[in-house]
Amino acid sequence: MHQDVENIMFSKEQIEKRIAELAAQLDREYAGKNPLMVGILKGSVMFYADLLRAMTIPVEMDFMAISSYGAGAKSSGEVKLIKDLDRKIEGRHVIIVEDIIDSGYTLSYLKRMLYSRKPDSVKICALLDKYSRRVVPIEADYKGFDCEDEFVVGFGLDYAERYRNLPYIGILKRSVYEK
Ligand code: PRP
């Protein structure tokens, strides 16, 4: 375990097993639909890569990047589009792939924006759901795990851009972010 990690919340094995279950569910529900899998950079990258490799139906890949207007602004719900999709989504089945839903601002913004482009459907697949932090009412359609309100890092999740490449999801030691 990394020295800055207090505890492992979800192990590599637990994550792998859960992703396989989600992939099987998506395979069943999206058979014949050629879904467009939209990864939200950067946190979703690990989940996205593993989820797509565990799926067996044909899928297409695209990415978006979003940013909040600095640390303070996130609580105001202001988000900004940094990178848009490469292609049109009209008539497509879209699955947004995220690492975590916290306040819900990012996904409610994204869902609204994508819906305005007339896709057939937009669903959310999130690895973690920190439900207790929700400010806007948004739900994952496909969810890996419920997550306690702890400072979690790893498997794509960062603190100041660090720890994203840990193969598990761990709770960061308070001493790391309180010093
Ligand atoms: C994280 C995460 C979600 C968002 C969730 O991204 O990947 O996109 O925050 O929070 P919300 O529900 O409160 O909007 P972040 O802005 O940290 O960027 P990153 O993916 O590059 O780490």
| pLDDT, tens digit, 9 for 90 and up, residues 75-126 | 666 788 999 999 999 999 999 999 999 999 999 999 999 999 999 999 999 9
pTM above 0.85, yes or no: yes
Dump pLDDT digits (tens) for 132-154: 999 999 999 999 999 999 999 99
Residue whose CA is closest, atom 14 of ligand 1? Answer: 106
User: Which residue among 38, 40, 68, 143 is best mutated to probe the pocket of ligand 1, counting the most ligand atoms within 8 A of its Cβ?
Assistant: 40
Q: Would you list the DSSP string of 108-177?
A: HHHHHHHHTT--SEEEEEEEEE-GGG-SS----SEEEEE--SS-EEBTTB-BTTBSTT-SSEEEEPHHHH
Residue with tokens 């396989």: 20
